[in-house]
Amino acid sequence: MLKDIENSSYEILGDDNLQIDRIISKENNNLILQLRARNTSNKPVKIFSFVVADFILPSKIEKVLEHGWLQCSEVSWKNPDEPTKETKLFLQRDQNHFSFKKEYGYIENSVISEWFTLIKMYGGDLFIGAVTTADQFSQIFVKKEEGGTRVRVTCQYDGLTLSPGQVVKSEKIFFAVGEESKIKKDFAESLAKHMNVKKVAPPIRAMCNSYYWNENKIDDKIINNELDAIEKMSEHLNLDYFELDAGYTKYFGDWLDYKDRFPKGFERIISKIEALGYKPAIWISPFAISPATKLHDHHASWLLKSSHKKHFEGRWTSPVDNLSNDIDLEVLDPTNDEVKKYLKGVLTHFMDLGFELFNTDFMYPVCLAEKYSKPVTRAQALREGVQFIRDTVGDLKLKSCITQLSPMVGLIDYVRTGIDTLNPFVCFIPGVNRMINDFMLEKNIQESEERLFLNRVVWNADPDVLVFRDGTGIDEAVISKHKKMAKENNMSLWFGDSVANMDEVTREKVLKFFNNV
């Protein structure tokens, strides 16, 4: 089968006047393909996508893994005749909408996977995925046709142009046939090698304060109450990090305006965290900001714009996202040097205070834009921003939440691999809390399990917070399954319940879990 894939067709979708070569290499009996294009004309040439391989599988397909681009995107097994449907109204962020454009290589009524997929065939499995991820988003289209199942593998160049004589390459695409666990392992190891992942951070134990029980509301009193309650527990709670979560400023973006909620600053709280034997951590959305911020008012030119030259709404979860400053998001351009200077100042301020882990969130809107301060792909734009953060914080730890996954490889220590554990805004609505939160945790488990083969090879996986308190609406069997998955697979272990508001029985559950890891 690999020989047939090696001899399959390939092309570049865009303008003509390109010299195209396919680079073929072998790695542990697996196949790696990459396209190289040179502009042989005397004028700029536009490229939408590289079609690295396009072939027919004659074997009967049992099912195919649909894998989305965000940590919270769809991850499910499908029959090859169950096409991926484009979202039009809610949660549009969960899909790469370029992947539904024919000029980018979309095959109508196909199953679309981003970054990697597994095709289960009767008699063997085929794994396909990108083992370089810094420059382009990669897709695998699978569709049942007469004579077999068609597979097309693309890497999106986002309509950028090549100057005369310029050379550009696609990502490297890995193909392996064999037993599922082995070919997944081969892919993960190849990915780590090609993306220069030298060492994976060890799993951590941490507490998030306080989105999961109090929404985006924290202040000096809440944090001190939690620290006091931890200090009074019947024995020392075995944690590595204590995190200040979203809400320490009124609006996302004005990160240093925290004195209204923390009048005495963070110094005393950090000292208190360290006195308990923990390292201080802080949440930040480095690129997504509220339109109500001073940052927006003073530096509107730093924001990404829509095709109509307006600042585009960055949340992309519902049609009403822009009706409230508490929901609406606008997006800083991570390729803008002035944005980098601002971010460096913010991160340096927090580092000087003593924070040792940065929990980065809401990075996905960067890739919903189509134009940046310089000609780069969406993947390159996000990667450039995250690389700048990595270079700024050095050896301190980075964690990611809502983001496209593939550009994080080699830069982020702790990567969220599933949807949020729960929605705190519905916890107190009987019936609704069970319908939403039970679904969310089940989905989190499914997504995290399908990505487990990357854990401890490429990054340390974060399954989001574990649940200990009652009243979330989640079935206890699902909560136990989540904890079991996280603990048995050496994933990072976080909890987000309030120790100050717990009864003694729940506190003992927390102690028993974290002190026996």
What number of residues does the chain have? 517
Give the whole-angstrom CA distance, residue 266 versus residue 353: 7
pLDDT for res 319: 85
Sheet strand arrangement including 460-462 = 460-462, 414-416, 397-400, 357-360, 279-284, 241-244, 205-209, 493-495
Give the whole-angstrom CA distance, residue 444 versus residue 402: 13
pLDDT for res 363: 99
φ/ψ of 481, rounded to 5, equals: -65, -40
Nearest of 46, 42, 66, 54 to residue 5 by alpha carbon: 54
253: helix, coil or strand? coil
Topology (CATH level 3) of domain 205-285+354-361+374-514: TIM Barrel (3.20.20)
Give the whole-angstrom CA distance, residue 193 versus residue 199: 11
Q: Which residues contact 199 (CB under 8 A, 6 or more apart)?
A: none
- Structural domain spans, the chain: 2-194, 205-285+354-361+374-514
The DSSP code for 458 is T
Which pairs count as long-range contacts for 308-316, CB under 8 Å and 24+ apart, including other chains?
A: 312/368, 312/369, 314/288, 314/362, 314/365, 314/368, 315/93, 315/288, 315/365, 316/91, 316/92, 316/93, 316/365, 316/368
Give the whole-angstrom CA distance, residue 68 versus residue 52: 19
The conformational region for residue 275 under phi > 0 = left, psi -120 to 50 = alpha, else beta, is alpha
Task: Quote the distance between the C-alpha of residue 465 and its chain's center.
Answer: 16
Task: Quote the distance between the C-alpha of residue 206 and its chain's center.
Answer: 20
DSSP states along 372-414: -SSS--HHHHHHHHHHHHHHHHTTSEEEE-SSBSGGGTTT-SE
pLDDT for res 309: 66
Based on the number of CB atoms within 10 Å of its own CB, is 449 exposed (0-12), middle (13-18) or buried (19 or more)?
middle
DSSP states along 315-358: --SSTTGGG-TTT--EEB-TT-HHHHHHHHHHHHHHHHHT--EE
- Give pLDDT < 50 ranges for the chain: none
Nearest of 216, 129, 191 to residue 420 by alpha carbon: 216
Give the whole-angstrom CA distance, residue 425 versus residue 412: 29
In this structure, are residues 392 and 350 in contact, taking their beta carbons and an 8 Å threshold?
Answer: no
Structure tokens at 73: 């995107």
The DSSP code for 98 is G
